[in-house]
Amino acid sequence: MLSFTHSKSSLTKSRTAGKKKFFFLVFISFISITSISSAQEIIKGMKNTNSIKKGSVALPQVRFKTGEMVMMHNTDDGMSFDIIKNGKTTPLFDPCADCVFGQTAEFDIDGDGKTEVIIGTRLTPETFEVKIFHKEEFQVEYALFTTISGQDHCEFLGDNTVKIYSLDGKVSHLKFKSDGTWIVLDN
């Protein structure tokens, strides 16, 4: 007949080691999930933002201070971005069939007190496109203000400028003009 004897301290040590391993694995999983999702992120440094991946059945939304919201969803035609105001749904642009990741944000890019709708789409792991929609004074609908593109991500500074980061770490700093065109400040 076999008999096993364990001291109380050896059981406590094995439980403690098991807990440490468990928490370590949870921590590593959290870091890897966070890094994967932030690696696709296009628009960085904003608080009111949401995103969607190709094939997802989720319906992420960004609610604006003005009561409007942008809903993102995947359709048979591609990734769609619709603005919803007073119960009326209006597509901002045609569905993007080539998009693998989409992101929406609300931000006042020029500091005039009015927020713009910013839509970022990742076409490949190395390219993105950001469309900025602006509502002119006395207008009801948002209109395309300008489009920028890049490799890694962009960051809006709130002073009518944007920094666009490339995969090799280079930064382009652009300033928007009132007509939607932009000039390069520095590289």
Strands 153-156 and 43-44: parallel
Between 32-46, 68-82, 155-169, the lowest mean confidence (pLDDT) is in 32-46
* pTM given for the model: 0.76
**The pLDDT value given to residue 172:** 93
**The pLDDT value given to residue 25:** 43
**The pLDDT value given to residue 20:** 59
Nearest residue to 91 via CA among 75, 107, 106: 75
pLDDT tens figures, 17-49? 655 555 444 444 333 333 334 457 999 988 889
**The pLDDT value given to residue 14:** 57
pLDDT tens figures, 172-186? 999 998 888 889 997
**Angle (CA) 129 126 108, round 5°:** 35
